[in-house]
Amino acid sequence: MDTLLGEARKPEPETEPLADGAVLFRGGARAEAPALFAAVQAIAEAAPFRHMTTPGGFVMSIAITNCGDFGWTSDRRGYRYAPCDPGTGKPWPAMPPFFRALAVGAAARAGFPGFAPDSCLINRYEPGARLSLHQDKDEKRLAAPIVSVSLGLPARFLFGGLTRQEKPRRFRLENGDVVVWGGPARMAFHGVDPLAGGNHPLTGRCRVNLTFRQAS
């Protein structure tokens, strides 16, 4: 029976293991995608997307904003989390409660109960934008997982091992796909190939990625 108190149950997303401690939930946030993107647009009005500079002086091809208690930033001084947007000097917009609920639920489904995200890094990819292989290691709570939600245009997600020398595998991510990695995969190198052109009904000519972290 597929109903409970007269309401249809949400179907379980297709699950694809990526590695020990890493899983892809295909379509795990597809139903929420329009509301997620609308919230991102509101967040960007208060904290505009910007192309940050790496410590080496390179301008990132992806545009970035954040919501939550802390936001990830980069400049010539290094990578770090900060409570305020360096562009406006104001605190980052609050994380919408349904953002947090989605991330906590995905983490629990992946085997990581108790996730308490206090930061959501929002990346906007336009055609040609990419993210080179890297590890997420600026968080104080490395025992907590990372939860990533894709919106809009499809992308090729690179997921490797614990050293840069290990060849990464590529996974196609589409609108509403959710990736969670933690435990033995928490420090896996990962990235995104250059985004191909296209026009998505939700986001237009871009892909938006929400990455939930426990920064503090």
Q: What is the DSSP secondary-structure string of 42-103?
A: HHHHHS--B-PBPTTSPBPSSEEEEEES-EEEEETTEEEEESB-TTTSSBPPPPPHHHHHHH
Query: Which residue do the tokens 């400049």 mark?
Result: 75
Using the predicted structure, report yes or no on whether residue 1 has a pLDDT greater than 80: no
CA dist 123 and 150 (Å) reads: 10
Sorting pLDDT into bands at 50, 70 and 90, what band is 44? Answer: very high
The three-state (H, E, C) secondary structure of 174-216, written as one string: CCCCEEEECHHHCCCCEEECCCCCCCECCCECCEEEEEEECCC
Mean pLDDT on 122-142: 96
Contacts of residue 27, defined as CB under 8 A and 6 or more positions apart, other chains included, come to: 13, 14, 174, 176, 177
Sorting pLDDT into bands at 50, 70 and 90, what band is 12? Answer: confident
CA dist 181 and 43 (Å) reads: 25
Q: Average pLDDT of the chain? A: 94
Res 129: pLDDT: 98
Residue 66's CB is within 10 A of a number of other CB atoms, namely: 25
Give the full edge-to-edge strand order of the sheet including 169-173. Answer: 131-134, 190-192, 155-159, 169-173
Q: Are 132 and 194 in contact (CB under 8 A)?
A: no
> On the CB side of 143, how many CA atoms lie within 13 Å of its CA?
3
Res 4: pLDDT: 40
Sorting pLDDT into bands at 50, 70 and 90, what band is 13? Answer: confident
Mean pLDDT on 52-56: 94
Mean pLDDT on 33-55: 97
Query: Which residue do the tokens 């104001």 mark?
Result: 90
Res 30: pLDDT: 97
Using the predicted structure, report yes or no on whether residue 136 has a pLDDT greater than 50: yes
Contacts of residue 12, defined as CB under 8 A and 6 or more positions apart, other chains included, come to: none
Please report the sign of the dihedral spanned by the C-alpha atoms of residue 173, residue 146, residue 116, residue 20: positive
Domains detected in the chain? 14-213 (2.60.120.590)
Over residues 139-153, the pLDDT tens digits come to: 998 999 999 999 999
Q: Are 125 and 157 in contact (CB under 8 A)?
A: no
Over residues 55-103, the pLDDT tens digits come to: 999 999 999 999 999 999 999 999 999 999 999 999 999 999 999 999 9
Sorting pLDDT into bands at 50, 70 and 90, what band is 11? Answer: low
pTM over 0.85: yes
Res 132: pLDDT: 95
